[in-house]
A and B are shown apart, each in its own frame.
Chain A
Amino acid sequence: MSKVIPIHPMDDFKERSRSVLNNPGQRKNFRSAMDFLQAKRKSQFPDQAELEGLRELGAEIRRYSLAHLPRLLEQLETSLSANGIQVHWAETPEQANAIALEIAQRVKARHIIKGKSMVSEEIEFNHAMEAAGIEAFESDMGEYIVQLAGEKPSHIIMPAIHKTKQEIAELFAREVPGVSYTEDVDALIQIGRRVLRRKFADADIGLSGVNFMVAETGTLCLVENEGNGRMCTTVPRVHIAITGIEKVVERLEHVPPLYSLLARSATGQSVTTYFNLISGPRKPDELDGPDEVHLILLDNGRTQAYADQQLRATLQCIRCGACMNHCPVYARIGGHAYGTTYPGPIGAIISPHLLGLQSTYPLTFASTLCGACSEVCPVKIPIPDILVRLRNEAMAQPDSEEASLRGSGAARTVSGSAVWSVWSQVYSRLGLYQLASWFMSRGRALSPNEQGAWTRSRTPLVPAPKRLRDLLKERKP
């Protein structure tokens, strides 16, 4: 079952994109899913003024929280500890997995049941646990389907968005014992419910993500519809929550506006079925809930984004997925083509910090800079500006002042740099410019028919027979 798909092999990003573009079935799935999600979101924001006011408030809350991040993390640690929740810090995915593994081995865990957590995907948690002989089982319906198929999520909110119900029906009939083929969605969900209820009851550890952490009260907030998040955080004896360091807010009253923005932007619901606030393990007189609650705070490159005033805005993200739902590129190539845990526009701006620009810079170019993502972003992240900045970083001269990120300059090539250096010489010297343009217009017949990427889907570029300068000269009386 655990066929491991390597993530972040960037070299074949273009190849993967092309293969989806040539698959009409997949394109249809994504197109209709995106249309559906866009319409649902739109129906939740009938009042443009209310939307803009709420977005501004959401952005202010996130900016405020980030500005005070080190202080809030310490306050969070203090209040969580006072509530009996154990806090762990991890700089890398390896450290995060090692912390979880140590807990699992101490309580002799054999089965871990998982609620939805993109950070656990980011650190390849399942793989690390399986390598140690511990089963990590996904319980979100979409994640369960994707895991059963040996795949990765293609969307951060709807992991199995790339699959049709026919494909899921075939998958269940093939992989779930005693199940026959049915395309009835209710029946398919009931199959998942039956299988997973057993898993909840038998699991030694529940793993979950976190949507918001509240520093003042020491509270972990989880947003969900299915109830699997509540199961994972309530039934097993041990609950491990894992999330990025940026998810903290100072006050409980900061949560309602972000929760409203998240539910409405993500799936176009006014509210999710469950909003789950966890502020401690089971107390001596309580009859259920975990005896131990752990929180793993992960850095994994987030401090690199934080260090830069412009790139810091990347960390405002509340992971609603609206940017990918409205992205013309994501709608055409889908989530898997990106090859990263976080696809779409937000993936293109966060992945360079997690994985380095070397392997991720092609993603920053996979955008038309149309601005749809920043227009719908509930916390107003200027995604196109950040994409342009990352492109510049990718082209920067390594070790220069412009190169400030891991992998800066990765897209720079000798021939490319030479072309631009000639271009800048020609365009900054009048005589040279006149001479060059004279030769270009007179020698236009020599223009090559093959002009690299340009001519793959366009006619070749040919200079005009007369320069603007010549035309103006002719007009003189």
Chain B
Amino acid sequence: MNTATMARNNILGRLRAAPVAALPPLPDVKAWFDSQRRNEDLAQRVLRLRAAMQAVKTEFHDVTPTDWPDVLLRIAAAKGIGNLLVGSNTAHGDELQAHPLGQLQLVHYEQPIEAWRDRMFDGIDAALTSARSAVAEIGSIILWPTPSEPRLMSLVPHIHFVLLDATSIHSDLHSAITAEGWSSGLPTNALLIGGPSKTADIQQTLAYGAHGPKELIVLLRHATGAAS
């Protein structure tokens, strides 16, 4: 038996040899969340999400399915963003591409990161991704990165734009996990993001832009005519 198998067997053996008391019952997590869940409609969930995320410096902009590229381009111009990383073969990437972009250059994430790592780290100002959904209670958006919108898009560029459909906001994390069936299969990487990256490691003073994005800008996409 090699060392690796031996270590495994020894550890499991010691755990199994430990005295067994009465086994505790399976905790009822669902009952707890059911008892705590507020009776909220979508508009109230939107408000809670915004309040929680804005409290940690996330920007929110209400957009419609047709005007969001204009809104994004206006913000990008105001912030002096030179280039924007978009995924390959995404509907929103194509929509944006169809607009007159002015000074803004679109960069498509088409190559494995190894082929352009330095440019990703030193030459990209901002990125645009979609969000899968969001959680009102804990003020977080949910991202499941895909081959067309990879993981580093929401991490390395200094500014992260996120397109979030207002209809996709869950009440709490438990209902998000259950409604979306997470336990039957997760992607390589799933993420909850609550705001731009931050730290309070120097004398408990809060500073934004630690290692990830310095700014998180949520484009909250309402069905046409529903923008508040």
Q: Which residues of A contact B (CB under 8 A)?
A: 33, 36-37, 50, 53-54, 57, 60-61, 63-64, 67-70, 73-74, 88-91, 95, 99, 139-142, 145, 158-161, 163-165, 168, 185-186, 188-190, 192-193, 196-198, 200-201, 216-217, 219, 225-228, 230-231, 234-235, 245, 251-254, 256-257, 259-260, 267, 270-283, 285-289, 297, 299, 303, 306-309, 312
Residues of A close to B3: CB separation below 8 A: 95
Determine how close the nearest CB of chain B comes to the CB of A176; give it in whole angstroms.
14
Cβ-defined contact, B189 with A287, below 8 A: no
Q: A158-B201, A270-B52 are in contact. Are A68 and B155 (CB under 8 A)?
A: no
> Nearest chain-B residue to A234 (Cβ)?
B151
Q: A67-B24, A196-B211, A286-B150 are in contact. Are A252 and B113 (CB under 8 A)?
A: no
Instruction: Indicate if B204 sits at the interface (CB-CB under 8 A).
Output: yes
Cβ-defined contact, B11 with A219, below 8 A: no
Q: A219-B186, A256-B173 are in contact. Are A231 and B155 (CB under 8 A)?
A: yes
Cβ-defined contact, A168 with B33, below 8 A: no
Cβ-defined contact, B121 with A277, below 8 A: no
Instruction: Tell me the B62-107 residues at the A interface (CB within 8 Å).
Output: none
Residues of B close to A70: CB separation below 8 A: 12, 15-16
Cβ-defined contact, A277 with B190, below 8 A: yes
Cβ-defined contact, B140 with A271, below 8 A: yes
The answer, among B27, B112, B177, B203, for a CB contact under 8 Å with A57, is: B27
Residues of B close to A88: CB separation below 8 A: 4
Cβ-defined contact, A74 with B11, below 8 A: no
Instruction: Indicate if B132 sits at the interface (CB-CB under 8 A).
Output: no
- Ranked nearest first, the 4 interchain pairs of A and B with the lowest CB-CB distance are A227-B212, A142-B201, A226-B210, A275-B192
Size of the B side of the interface (Cβ < 8 Å), in residues, is 78
Residues of B close to A288: CB separation below 8 A: 112-113, 150-152
Determine how close the nearest CB of chain A comes to the CB of B78; give it in whole angstroms.
21
A217→B186 CA distance, assembly (Å): 7
A201→B156 CA distance, assembly (Å): 10
Cβ-defined contact, B199 with A189, below 8 A: yes
> Nearest chain-A residue to B118 (Cβ)?
A201
Q: A67-B24, A225-B197, A285-B147 are in contact. Are A217 and B182 (CB under 8 A)?
A: yes
Cβ-defined contact, B186 with A139, below 8 A: no
Cβ-defined contact, A306 with B27, below 8 A: no
> Nearest chain-B residue to A219 (Cβ)?
B186
Cβ-defined contact, A226 with B198, below 8 A: yes
Residues of A close to B10: CB separation below 8 A: 91, 299
Determine how close the nearest CB of chain A comes to the CB of B50; give it in whole angstroms.
14
Determine how close the nearest CB of chain A comes to the CB of B124; give it in whole angstroms.
12
Determine how close the nearest CB of chain B comes to the CB of A368; give it in whole angstroms.
25
The answer, among B26, B32, B35, B56, for a CB contact under 8 Å with A257, is: B32
15 A-B residue pairs with CB within 8 Å: A54-B32, A88-B4, A89-B4, A89-B11, A185-B205, A200-B121, A225-B210, A226-B212, A227-B211, A234-B189, A270-B139, A274-B192, A275-B140, A279-B189, A306-B15
Cβ-defined contact, B24 with A63, below 8 A: yes
Cβ-defined contact, B27 with A50, below 8 A: no
Q: Which residues of B contact A (CB under 8 A)?
A: 3-4, 7-8, 10-12, 14-21, 23-27, 29-30, 32-33, 35-36, 52, 56, 109-113, 117-118, 121, 138-140, 147, 150-152, 155, 172-174, 177-178, 182-183, 185-205, 207, 209-213
Cβ-defined contact, A252 with B183, below 8 A: yes
Residues of A close to B33: CB separation below 8 A: 256
The answer, among B8, B11, B111, for a CB contact under 8 Å with A303, is: B11
> Nearest chain-A residue to B205 (Cβ)?
A185
Cβ-defined contact, A309 with B21, below 8 A: yes
Most chain A beta carbons < 10 A, residue from B25, B30, B187, B189? B189
Residues of B close to A231: CB separation below 8 A: 155, 211-212
Q: A189-B210, A193-B209, A277-B186 are in contact. Are A253 and B30 (CB under 8 A)?
A: yes
Count of A-B residue pairs with CB < 8 Å: 251
> Nearest chain-A residue to B204 (Cβ)?
A36
Q: A88-B4, A91-B11, A303-B11 are in contact. Are A227 and B197 (CB under 8 A)?
A: yes
Cβ-defined contact, A283 with B188, below 8 A: yes
> Nearest chain-A residue to B6 (Cβ)?
A91
Residues of A close to B211: CB separation below 8 A: 139, 193, 196-197, 200, 226-228, 230-231
Cβ-defined contact, A158 with B32, below 8 A: no
Residues of B close to A228: CB separation below 8 A: 210-211
Determine how close the nearest CB of chain B comes to the CB of A135; give it in whole angstroms.
18
Cβ-defined contact, A165 with B11, below 8 A: no
Residues of B close to A280: CB separation below 8 A: 188
Determine how close the nearest CB of chain B comes to the CB of A457; give it in whole angstroms.
32
Cβ-defined contact, B207 with A227, below 8 A: no
Residues of B close to A140: CB separation below 8 A: 201
The answer, among A197, A235, A279, for a CB contact under 8 Å with B188, is: A279
The answer, among A235, A282, A306, for a CB contact under 8 Å with B14, is: A306
In addition to A57-B32, A299-B14, A309-B19, 9 A-B residue pairs with Cβ atoms within 8 Å of each other are A145-B201, A158-B204, A161-B204, A186-B207, A200-B121, A253-B29, A286-B147, A287-B109, A288-B151
Cβ-defined contact, A273 with B205, below 8 A: no
Determine how close the nearest CB of chain B comes to the CB of A71; give it in whole angstroms.
9
A247→B189 CA distance, assembly (Å): 19
Cβ-defined contact, A272 with B151, below 8 A: no
Determine how close the nearest CB of chain A comes to the CB of B212; give it in whole angstroms.
3
Cβ-defined contact, B194 with A141, below 8 A: no
Cβ-defined contact, B203 with A185, below 8 A: yes
Residues of A close to B20: CB separation below 8 A: 67
Determine how close the nearest CB of chain B comes to the CB of A356; give it in whole angstroms.
16
> Nearest chain-A residue to B19 (Cβ)?
A309
> Nearest chain-B residue to A278 (Cβ)?
B189
Cβ-defined contact, A64 with B200, below 8 A: no
A274→B160 CA distance, assembly (Å): 14
Q: A273-B198, A306-B15 are in contact. Are A141 and B210 (CB under 8 A)?
A: yes
> Nearest chain-B residue to A60 (Cβ)?
B27
Determine how close the nearest CB of chain A comes to the CB of B215; give it in whole angstroms.
13
Determine how close the nearest CB of chain B comes to the CB of A292; give it in whole angstroms.
13
Cβ-defined contact, B27 with A307, below 8 A: no
Cβ-defined contact, B204 with A33, below 8 A: yes
Cβ-defined contact, B187 with A279, below 8 A: yes
Cβ-defined contact, A271 with B139, below 8 A: yes
> Nearest chain-B residue to A96 (Cβ)?
B7
A256→B140 CA distance, assembly (Å): 13
A277→B3 CA distance, assembly (Å): 30
The answer, among B24, B112, B178, B199, for a CB contact under 8 Å with A64, is: B24
